[in-house]
Structures are given as structure tokens and as C-alpha cells.
Amino acid sequence: MMDISGTTVLVTGANGGLGRNFVEQALARGASRVYATARRPRQWEDARVEPLALDVTDEASVAAAVVAAPDVDIVINNAGVGGASSLLASSVEDVERVFATNVFGALRVAKAFAPVLASRGGGALVDVHSVLSWLAIAGGYSASKAALWSLTNSLRVELAPQGTLVVGAHLGYTDTPMIADVDAEKNDPAEVVASIWDAVAADEDEALADQVSRDVRAALSGPVRSLYAQLLAN
């Protein structure tokens, strides 16, 4: 069981709805320090929070973050962007932009901080996926989350020898600025983040943060067409 109390946490994309909750709940669970990172970091009232500029798509920015945060025990790979919701209607450049943050940005952070986690006894890496990792209804965005899911599985194997827990977190629509315009029932981001922290504390490999994620995960063993009403109608 991982004891979050006394740890140092780094959160990417800390300005957003999930990111803010990751920071606040880490502190509530006893973290001694949280690096709250973003391209343009905000200021925080709690002295235990250290704002840190980080662009996950920039190699030099990530390298600078490692120097500035050499005492990290838990990395939350939360930074992400939307877009390219249709592969055919989007340019390849738009799809590449989504992958640059959601896939290669997350990988860049994981690779850079892996030695730091090793030096701290292993720690944990949390990659924030989506139910859309398994459900291809959002074009390039879904593809990016599916790629991140695969990367997380590979990182779990490669980081196991150094004792690093790798958690893949899946969630459906959640009430964050990224999907403010989506007209659908949405999860409370505080509840989603709490379930992810619970998974970390329990040394679980996956956090299925809502019922839709649990249902889709269970359906993966069935026929592909069973996941897509669009295909069943043809």
C-alpha cells in the first residue's frame, strides 16, 4: 500500500478542473509538497504548492522541470488537449497536435522523471486516460488516448524493476473546461480524482473512475460491433 502522506507530487496540467483537484486532494491526503505545473502556472494560496512552468511538448521545458523538482515521489500525467474529433474532417497536422500533448508529452514526462522516481524508491506514475481509450467515437482524440493507454501498459512493465507503480486512469465525461460545451451528464471532477488517488493508495494498476468506464472495460472482450451502435445499424 502506498502512503501518500509525506510525499512530493508533481501534477501536469494543474490549472484545469482535474488538475486543481489533484493538487488539492494530494494536500488533503498529507502530501508535503506539490509542484503544480502548467505552461502558464497560476498562483496558489497554500505554501506547500510550488507553481512550475512546464510545457510537456518541449524537451527543454521538461528537462528544466526535472532540475527544479528533483524530489518527486508521484507524477500525475494529467496535461491534455482536445480536438481532431473526426479523423477524416481534421487535418493530419491537427491530429499530430493532439498526439504531441496527449501521447508524446506524457511519454516525455514519464521518461524524464523515471530516474527521479527510482532515486526516491520507486514512487508512482499516474497517466490520465479516458473511456475513449477504448471507445473510438472521438477520432484523433480517441486515438491519442488509446495510444497513451498502450504506452502506459508498456511503461508499467519497464518501470516494474525499479519499483514504480504505474496507474492508468479512465473516466467518462467529467465537468471540466475542456468539455464545457458538451451537452451530456458529467462526473464531478472531485469524485473522479478521489477515485484515482484511492487507486494509487491501494497499489492498483487501473482506476476506473465511473460506471461507464467499468462497463466499456468489461465489454472489450466482446465483439467490436457491440461497442458501436453506428456499426450495428449498417
Catalytic residues: 141
Residues 6+ positions from 138 with CB-CB distance below 8 Å: 85, 132
Q: Cα–Cα distance between 25 and 200 in angstroms, integer?
A: 12
Choose among 104, 110, 25: nearest CA to 72: 110
Choose among 67, 189, 177, 72: nearest CA to 128: 189
Q: Cα–Cα distance between 36 and 43 in angstroms, integer?
A: 9
Query: How many other β-carbons are positioned within 10 Å of the β-carbon of residue 44?
Result: 17
Q: Cα–Cα distance between 213 and 7 in angstroms, integer?
A: 29
